Structure 1
Amino acid sequence: MTTTLGTASADPGEIDTGRLEVGETRDGSPFGLPVAVINGERSGKTLYIQAASDGDELNGVGVVQRLVPQLDPTALAGTILIVGIVNYHAFQVAQHRNPIDDTKMNRAYPGNETGTSSERIAAATFEAAMRADLVLDLHQGSTSRMIDEVRVRCGKRHRLHSACLELAKVFGCGYILDQKGPEGQLARAAPDEGVPTVDPELGGAVGWDETSIQKGVEGIFNVLTYYDFLEGSVDPSPQTRARGFEQYGASCGGLISFQVELGERVQRGETLFEVTTPFGEPKTTVSADSDGILWRTRRLPQVATGEYVCSVATDIDEH
């Protein structure tokens, strides 16, 4: 059966790319999101993938760029639907939020087809996602430094929690954040409609990072194999799961020196970072309030009073 997404249309055993029209720009020109349809030669499940719902989170775009040329629809069972760039306006100007309505796109789901710019884009991509059996919403830690992880955002009491957790484990980044997310996230809205969804957070970078992109490609192939899109087998390995965060800011201005490496385990009371003057004179040190893992840090060394510095993941186990 022919499968379409926007102007992309593929018969069984074919790939096609096109555009999903979602509105007009300020000069009245229509614009569309880049989309792809990979229609397997054999029937099976449907996987929906999207990237760059935050316009400066580009590792997901790198994953899509590398993934699609490796896919052979004649060897595939089922269908893959891809929206390669969701936040069209933010991507054009390399910003996080949609500049048309100053909105973070991943707070706009399930969207509104007659609403704001972000709500209309969210509605169009949500409709595409709801055609799928599984959803991967590719993100990264913006321009911060962050470990590669997969986030389960539906909450532990959700009826699809175990299915989402399984999907995260199969993706196999090594780390899972299992914490209910804010309203408006795709990974919260889609499970409410019965579709297991996770958001792989593929590190953090200015531009993109090849190591994290490769992990993303490998993760998608893990999913495709485990859920029978491709022949073969995958034995998911144990993942380090965190169920909470503690965030740390600067109590004074200056230059940050981290005393712990990203991804390292820390103990309560262990020094995370110190703040010095431009001449190296100590001003303050900040220690961990709990045992955990240094999960995310700011990229630039300079901070003002109260500015974000780092996050420590807590409530750790192996899953």
Structure 2
Amino acid sequence: MKNSKTISILGESILPGQSKTIYMEIAKLHNATKLKIPIVVQRSKIEGPTILFSAGIHGDEINGVEIVRQLITKKINKPKTGTIICIPVINMFGFVNQSREFPDGRDLNRVFPGSKKGSLASRFAYHILTEIMPIIDYAVDFHAGGASRFNAPQIRLAPNNDALKDLADVFNAPFTLFSNNIAGSFRNASQKLDVKMLLFEGGKSLNIDYPVAHAGVEGAKRILSHLNMLAENHVVQSPEKKTIYIQKSAWIRAKCSGLLHDNGFIGLFVTKGTVLATITDPFGKFERKIKAPNDGFIINGNQAPIVYQGDAIYHISKTILNAKH
């Protein structure tokens, strides 16, 4: 445990039992307006681990922001033991612009560990990694699908990491995918600091999906309960099913351009040959069916009304564990 006594973030001290919102200011908008990123810190008087719940590393992934917002407004972030830190919006620049990237065009989730004197995104990554992550034991970073692609609620974690798999079992999202850490990502940089981080994906960009948000909130509560950090006034819901582990998956791509008519199988198990969607031209000349190439779960689907040849349409599992459907 890294925070048994006083902790410090951006030069501000937080004692056991204290609650404080610290504002990170790295740069201003181009019109000289200050842009503050709230870091909400809640500490118990009782010693325990420190956990971070973060979202909005991509500014258009609103569903993750909603999950962390609910953790705060429902006072789930008030710990029985230890410290809970919530950052609902990391990329405030992108959030203001409703865009994925920073104003410099960079993806914040590809520039870690960052640089003190680098690009704007790189400077943010540097301060997050040097000011916040050294005191963190556990973390859940909430994301959503980009480019109109809707993710069924899922946890992603690096393979061959028993400690993370145990946490994923506890979180118990509908699906858990094994995926290698990406160079420059927040998750990869955190692992190098020995922070046990789960990455949650659910919903799509510029959209709030309440069932997905509910899955994220309940998973966070189960993690807190497991760590003996959840206050006794909060009830943990027992999941109906155990998470389905997906070892291998593949994208189904559009073989032609046109209007996409989705048949609503995201999150469901389908058999080989199931018609997942139809692509048509706008003039009634042709219809092309998109069929499942194998039995599997549809864990992501493209909800764009128009697609082009080669676009990723559906993400389907190929090898799964402990699945009962």
> TM-score under structure 2 normalisation?
0.86
User: Are 1:200 and 2:187 an aligned pair?
Assistant: no
1:119 to 107, 118, 122: 122
1:276 to 264, 274, 280: 280
Preserved contact between residue 147 and residue 204 of structure 1 (Cα < 8 Å): no
Instruction: Measure the CA separation in 1 of the matches of 2:24 and 2:314.
Output: 38
Which whole-Å deviations, capped at 9, do the CAs of 1:13-63 have from their partners, x for residues lacking one?
232213012234334555332111111121110101211000000112112
Kindly state the Cα deviation for residue 133 of structure 1 after the two structures are TM-superposed: 0.8
2:308 to 301, 304, 308: 304
Letter in 2 for 1:121: F
Residues 171 and 73 (structure 1), Cα distance of their counterparts in 2 relative to 1, 3 Å cut: closer
Q: Secondary structure at the residue paired with 2:85?
A: strand
Q: For residue 95 of structure 2, what is the aligned residue in structure 1?
A: 91
Q: Secondary structure at the residue paired with 1:25?
A: coil
Kindly state the Cα deviation for residue 281 of structure 1 after the two structures are TM-superposed: 4.2
Q: For residue 289 of structure 1, what is the aligned residue in structure 2?
A: 293
Preserved contact between residue 71 and residue 77 of structure 2 (Cα < 8 Å): no
Letter in 2 for 1:180: N
Instruction: Measure the CA separation in 2 of the matches of 1:243 and 1:22.
Output: 40
Which runs of no fewer than 5 residues in structure 1 stay unpaired? Answer: none
1:163-182 maps to which residues of 2 (within 5 A)?
Answer: 163-182=163-182
Q: Secondary structure at the residue paired with 2:176?
A: strand
Q: For residue 224 of structure 2, what is the aligned residue in structure 1?
A: 224
User: Are 1:248 and 2:252 an aligned pair?
Assistant: yes
1:47 to 51, 54, 68: 51
Kindly state the Cα deviation for residue 313 of structure 1 after the two structures are TM-superposed: 2.4
Q: Secondary structure at the residue paired with 1:63?
A: helix
CA root-mean-square deviation: 2.5
Residues 244 and 188 (structure 1), Cα distance of their counterparts in 2 relative to 1, 3 Å cut: farther
Q: For residue 145 of structure 1, what is the aligned residue in structure 2?
A: 150
Quick check: 87-96 or 25-34, which moved more? 25-34
> TM-score under structure 1 normalisation?
0.88
Which runs of no fewer than 5 residues in structure 2 stay unpaired? Answer: none
Preserved contact between residue 78 and residue 84 of structure 2 (Cα < 8 Å): no
Instruction: Measure the CA separation in 2 of the matches of 1:121 and 1:257.
Output: 40
Instruction: Measure the CA separation in 2 of the matches of 1:75 and 1:39.
Output: 7
Kindly state the Cα deviation for residue 301 of structure 1 after the two structures are TM-superposed: 2.2
1:63-82 maps to which residues of 2 (within 5 A)?
Answer: 63-71=67-75, 76-82=80-86
Residues 43 and 122 (structure 1), Cα distance of their counterparts in 2 relative to 1, 3 Å cut: same
Residues 298 and 238 (structure 1), Cα distance of their counterparts in 2 relative to 1, 3 Å cut: same
Preserved contact between residue 148 and residue 174 of structure 1 (Cα < 8 Å): yes
Identity, in percent, stands at 24
Residues 72 and 189 (structure 1), Cα distance of their counterparts in 2 relative to 1, 3 Å cut: closer
Aligned length: 313
